[in-house]
Structure 1
Amino acid sequence: MQLSKPVFLLFFLVFARQHGVSAQGCVAIRHFSSCVGNNLENNILNTGDLQFGVNYRYFKSFRHFRGTEEEPDRVANGTEVINHSHAWDFFLTYGLSSRWYAAITLPTVINTRSSLYEHGRNERNTTFSRGLADIRLGVGYWIFDPASHLKGNLALGAGLKLPTGNYNATDIFYNVGPEGSPEVRPVDQSIQPGDGGFGITLDYQWYQQLSTSLFLYSGGFYLINPRETNEIRTFRETLSPILENEAIMSVPDQYSVRLGSSYSFSDRFSASLGGRFDAVPVKDLIGGSDGFRRPGNVLSIDPGIGYMFQGFSLNVNVPFAVRRERPQSVTDRETEINTGNPRNGDAAFADYVINLSVAYRLGNNKVRLDPALQDPFNNQ
């Protein structure tokens, strides 16, 4: 059946999703998504329109990489670190005009981390964190009027990340205190709900219609974290004297880019296929890069399906990792120079990530007066 272009456009936008490092999950890359809406269709709004919903993400990271080389012996001998990460982003997007939009994202997380090396190396134990993460606020602008540019458009956005999440969450670590006693310490950086820094986000969203049912899409964001460290101790220096430069947590930048295509089968069902690249860089754009971080990047194939009915939309994307890298960090390089021995830390990555989004749109149904009647009305 033939559908109108606006219907196809809106349906495509359901799939042109911009999860941030709602990333291919790993110990290196923490949960984050762009502050200016998570879905393109959230941001195609009329004046006064409101879209709200929730994005859920889950991953299990356990495969260790050093550089681009996997270390399969970690799983084979039971020494791998296992992170389970659950994140819920509750978002609200408001149409300031047909081209300007504003958004707020309230993220919450539940994380667990199972390891040997953090608990005396002789027995596996689990640490836990949960709660509010870092709230994001932002605005965006469509370069071209969406009403007259149905076949393609580009939106640019900017926002703030607030340090609302706990970046000093603690739990019990076993066999590490005096005479092997338990001790309360900050949990690993990878499962801290917050990072402790004010951040600036820059993002873009683009689409182009190729045929009646087929679209190209791209989106991405960069999180600038000017703060160098958050003063929270890692206790890594207790593992080895050469890790003294990793005693305090860094506050790293983060970024994500997506590119793909979407096809509408009907006015309700659609599918997408693309690629995505998610990363924590070795060095920040602004500010220093000292302190402990696990830089990492993941290239993923990103298939998705979706359903839309009236104001309701449901989307599922499951990115599968095809390349994972844990590059040499600033502290790795410092240690290598000081000791004369090669140094490149490892990180644990997931095989895939489950992303689920549910949203509902409320249109602005207020009756607007004919412009010719406004002055008489206002003068009564």
Structure 2
Amino acid sequence: MRLRLFLLILSLVLISAQSWSQGCVAIRHFSTCSPTYGQSNPSTRGDFQTGLNYRYFKSFRHFRGTEEEPDRVTNNTEVINHSHSFDYFLSYGITDRWQVAVTIPLVLNSRSSLYEHGRSERYSTFSRGMGDVTINTNYWLIDPFINSSFNLQAGFGVKLPTGSYNASDIFYNVGPNGSPETRPVDQSIQPGDGGFGLILQGQGYYVLNTRASIYAAGFYLFNPRNTNGIRTFRETLSPLLENEAIMSVTDQFSVQAGLSFVAGTHMSLQAGVRYEGIPVSDVIGKSEGFRRPGNVLSVEPGINYTVGNWNLMLSVPVAVRRERPQSLTDKEIEDETGNPRNGDAAFADYLINVGVSLRIPGKRITDI
């Protein structure tokens, strides 16, 4: 019973760590939004685990600071992003405590707006393709088969710039005499960011009794590259936006915690909170160029179903607080003009995250 409880809770903790991004213009998908330090962790040495996660959100509610601007929706001037992402992952248990994993993301994004198309007509731009691949390794500080009531895991990973960060589409009413023009799509729907990133991550759990436990997880993506050289064309909207003409390569973070409950032989439920976002400035390197810093606090219900070596998961983080803080370029413009400035960003109400995984047990020495 304790082993079954441990495996169910461990599976829930690992899978809950998979669905990182709540979904907003400020927070791009990272597979980021996933080195999948969670679901990709097998339980024993020699185990493989493979699976697919699907994530969807629609961002359309505009915030400036923590204040929503509902008139954007009323006046039909809101920016609408639809984001579909598919994360394929494969992991291997080097030992019972060391695991290594690789995640390959595929994205399909669309962005509908007025201001990017001459402000007179609404059009959509699209991006699709592979995102930024991540490779990571994780280590349980305590042997999980010696102590199944408490454990902590630390991990390190790299994000490779495999995704296109210059995906382009047709923008209307912006060329000479109002002609269409091919330009890079907005930063929020670029499949990649052009940066080589470093990832620090961790997670842990504590079993309260035979049915309930608490869990926590988090990560920080360090993106040392300053800007990626891709033009935003924001300076064509106003000469004041010259400092936002090139895309920034941003850090990203997420932390979460909650309670999991074993609801049956195969089912467990979760109730948690999640806080994630893009910081105003990076920890390593410069933070020039255009970025939309933002953060989201969400409540996250979820369900996890395990049958044999198969696992199904559904979680739906729902935003309860959204913030688009003043960026460095906002502050520069404010200092230059003497007028207050804080850019806006569009956020989603919720995120849908669905995952399926298969554990392929390895041959243990004791079995030979």
TM-score (norm 1): 0.94
Shift of 1:276: 0.2
> What is the rounded CA distance, in whole Å, between the counterparts of 2:326 and 2:88 in structure 1?
35
The match for 1:207 is: 205
What's the Cα RMSD here?
Answer: 1.3
What amino acid maps onto 1:85 in structure 2? S
The match for 1:107 is: 105
The match for 1:245 is: 243
Asked if the contact 2:136/2:156 (under 8 Å) is kept, the reply is yes
The match for 2:90 is: 92
Secondary structure of 2:73's counterpart equals helix
Query: Structure 1, residues 191-227: CA drift from partner, whole Å, max 9, x if none?
Result: 0000000000000010000000101000010000000
Asked if the contact 1:173/1:185 (under 8 Å) is kept, the reply is yes
The match for 2:286 is: 288
Of 206-215 and 361-370, the range deviating more from structure 2: 361-370
> What is the rounded CA distance, in whole Å, between the counterparts of 1:140 and 1:28 in structure 2?
28
The match for 1:377 is: none
Asked if the contact 1:61/1:350 (under 8 Å) is kept, the reply is yes
What amino acid maps onto 1:37 in structure 2? T
Query: Structure 1, residues 336-368: CA drift from partner, whole Å, max 9, x if none?
Result: 000100010000000000011100000013665
- 1:361-376 matched pairs, under 5 angstroms: 361-365=359-363, 368=366
Residue from 314, 317, 336 that aligns with 1:316: 314
TM-score (norm 2): 0.97
Secondary structure of 1:303's counterpart equals strand
Secondary structure of 1:292's counterpart equals coil
Query: Structure 1, residues 103-125: CA drift from partner, whole Å, max 9, x if none?
Result: 00000100000000000000000
Count of aligned pairs: 366
Query: Structure 1, residues 271-290: CA drift from partner, whole Å, max 9, x if none?
Result: 10000001100000000011
Unaligned runs of 5+ in 2: none
Query: Structure 1, residues 28-62: CA drift from partner, whole Å, max 9, x if none?
Result: 0000146553535x424211100000111000000
Residue from 133, 157, 160 that aligns with 1:159: 157
Taking a change above 3 Å as real, the CA distance of residues 174 and 19 of structure 1, as seen in their structure-2 partners, is farther
The match for 1:15 is: 12
What amino acid maps onto 1:14 in structure 2? S
Taking a change above 3 Å as real, the CA distance of residues 91 and 103 of structure 1, as seen in their structure-2 partners, is same
Shift of 1:230: 0.1
Query: Structure 1, residues 227-281: CA drift from partner, whole Å, max 9, x if none?
Result: 0000000000000011000000000000000100100111211110000001100
Shift of 1:93: 1.1
Query: Structure 1, residues 135-179: CA drift from partner, whole Å, max 9, x if none?
Result: 000111000111111001000000100000000000000000000
The match for 2:215 is: 217
Answering whether residue 262 of structure 2 is matched by residue 264 of structure 1, we say yes
Residue from 344, 349, 352 that aligns with 2:347: 349
> What is the rounded CA distance, in whole Å, between the counterparts of 1:200 and 1:29 in structure 2?
17
Asked if the contact 1:50/1:95 (under 8 Å) is kept, the reply is yes
Asked if the contact 1:14/1:315 (under 8 Å) is kept, the reply is no
> What is the rounded CA distance, in whole Å, between the counterparts of 2:260 and 2:227 in structure 1?
41
Residue from 42, 64, 70 that aligns with 2:62: 64
Taking a change above 3 Å as real, the CA distance of residues 18 and 271 of structure 1, as seen in their structure-2 partners, is closer
Secondary structure of 2:193's counterpart equals coil
The match for 2:28 is: 30
> What is the rounded CA distance, in whole Å, between the counterparts of 1:76 and 1:132 in structure 2?
35
Residue from 212, 215, 231 that aligns with 1:233: 231
> What is the rounded CA distance, in whole Å, between the counterparts of 2:293 and 2:179 in structure 1?
32
Asked if the contact 1:116/1:124 (under 8 Å) is kept, the reply is yes
Q: Which has the larger radius of gyration?
A: 1
> What is the rounded CA distance, in whole Å, between the counterparts of 2:262 and 2:256 in structure 1?
19
> What is the rounded CA distance, in whole Å, between the counterparts of 2:268 and 2:306 in structure 1?
9
> What is the rounded CA distance, in whole Å, between the counterparts of 2:37 and 2:367 in structure 1?
34
Secondary structure of 2:230's counterpart equals strand
The match for 1:187 is: 185
> What is the rounded CA distance, in whole Å, between the counterparts of 2:365 and 2:283 in structure 1?
48
Secondary structure of 1:141's counterpart equals strand
Secondary structure of 2:340's counterpart equals coil
Asked if the contact 1:37/1:92 (under 8 Å) is kept, the reply is no
Taking a change above 3 Å as real, the CA distance of residues 14 and 83 of structure 1, as seen in their structure-2 partners, is same
The match for 2:357 is: 359
Answering whether residue 12 of structure 2 is matched by residue 39 of structure 1, we say no
Shift of 1:13: 2.2
Shift of 1:21: 6.7
Asked if the contact 2:248/2:290 (under 8 Å) is kept, the reply is yes
> What is the rounded CA distance, in whole Å, between the counterparts of 2:204 and 2:35 in structure 1?
14
Query: Structure 1, residues 298-331: CA drift from partner, whole Å, max 9, x if none?
Result: 0000000111000000000000000000000000
The match for 1:297 is: 295
The match for 1:130 is: 128
Taking a change above 3 Å as real, the CA distance of residues 203 and 18 of structure 1, as seen in their structure-2 partners, is farther
> What is the rounded CA distance, in whole Å, between the counterparts of 1:239 and 1:145 in structure 2?
57
> What is the rounded CA distance, in whole Å, between the counterparts of 1:193 and 1:36 in structure 2?
15
Taking a change above 3 Å as real, the CA distance of residues 19 and 83 of structure 1, as seen in their structure-2 partners, is farther
The match for 1:49 is: 47
Among all aligned residue pairs of Structure 1 and Structure 2, give the percentage whose two residues are the same amino acid: 59
Asked if the contact 1:61/1:349 (under 8 Å) is kept, the reply is yes
